Structure 1
Amino acid sequence: MPLPRFYRLPADRRESILRVAREHFARDGADRASYNKIIAELGISKTSAYQYFDGKDDLFAGVIEDVHARMSQALGAWADAGSAEQFWERLRAASDRLAAHGLAHPEDLALLDASTAQDPAPWLAPVLDNGRALGVIRSDVDRELMLAATAAVLRAADVWAAERLREGRAVPDVIWSLVRGMWSKPDES
Structure 2
Amino acid sequence: MKYSAILATAILALGTAASASTLSGDSVTREVTNNGSIIVPVTSFTVGAGVDFTDANINIDMNAGAMGDQLEITVAPGNYGGMYSTSGTTVLTFGDLDFTDGSSLIGFDVIDDGPLDFVASIVDGSTLALTFDEAPITGGTFALGTYVTDIVTAPVPLPAGGLLLLTGLGAFAVSRRKSAA
The answer to whether TM tops 0.5 is: no
Q: Return the index of the structure with the highest Cα Rg.
A: 2
Q: What is the TM-score normalised by the length of structure 2? A: 0.30
| TM, length-normalised to structure 1 | 0.29
Greater helix fraction, Structure 1 or Structure 2: 1
